[in-house]
Amino acid sequence: MDNPKIIGQTKTVGFQVGVRRMFPISKEEAWNLVTSQDGLNVWLGESMFIILEPGQNYITKLGSGEIRVVKPLQQLRLTWQKVGWDKASTVQVRIIPGASNKTTISFHQEKLSNQNVREEMKQYWQKVLMELKERIPK
C-alpha cells in the first residue's frame, strides 16, 4: 500500500511551496519591486549589495546562495540556504503579466527538508507578498 501523499512533497526535490499574488502594477513595476535593493531586502534578507547575474554568490542576514537564472521582467532562479539549514533550497520568482496593468508575483521554493519547513516558508512568502504590497505607491 502506498503512503498517502503529504502536501508539498515531491518525488525528487523534497518539499516545495508556492505562493503568488496579483498586484495592480505593470510587469516592469513588479520586476523593479522584486529586484530593487529594498525589494531584495524584503524577500532575501538585508544585505549590502546583491548582483543579479548568473553565477554571482550572495550573503544576507537570513542566508546565502547563488544566482542561477536572470530573465529580466520574467524570472529569477537562485539557491538559498537560510541560516541554520543543512542544505540549500531553490527559489524561483516569476513575474506574470495579466490584463489591464495587473501583474502576478510568484515565489516558488523547492528542496525543502520537511513539512514543517514547508509550512514555515509558506507563511514567510505570504508575509513577503504583503510587505511588497505595502511598498507599492498608492
Helices (H), 8-105: 27-35, 37-44
Q: Exposed, middle or buried, 97 (CB in 10 Å: 0-12/13-18/19+)?
A: middle
pLDDT tens column, 95-134: 999 999 999 999 999 999 999 999 999 999 999 999 999 9
- Dist. CA 133–CA 138, nearest whole Å: 10
| pLDDT at residue number 3 | 53
Q: Is the pLDDT of residue 1 over 50?
A: no
pLDDT, position 129: 98
- Count CA atoms within 13 Å of residue 13 on its CB side: 12
**Mean pLDDT on 6-11:** 82
Intra-chain end-to-end CA distance of the chain, in Å: 55
Residue 10 above 90 pLDDT?
A: no
Determine phi and psi for 19, rounding to 5 degrees.
-135, 150
Contacts of 43 (CB under 8 A, 6+ apart): 34, 93, 107, 125, 128, 132
3-state SS assignment for residue 5: coil
Which pLDDT belongs to residue 94?
Answer: 98
For the question of whether the overall pTM of this predicted structure is more than 0.95, the answer is: no
Q: What is the pLDDT of residue 58?
A: 97
Percent of the chain at pLDDT above 70?
Answer: 96
Residue 67 CA neighbour count, 13 Å, CB half: 19
pLDDT at 32 over 50: yes
- Output the pLDDT for position 4: 61
Query: What pLDDT score was predicted for residue 60?
Result: 97
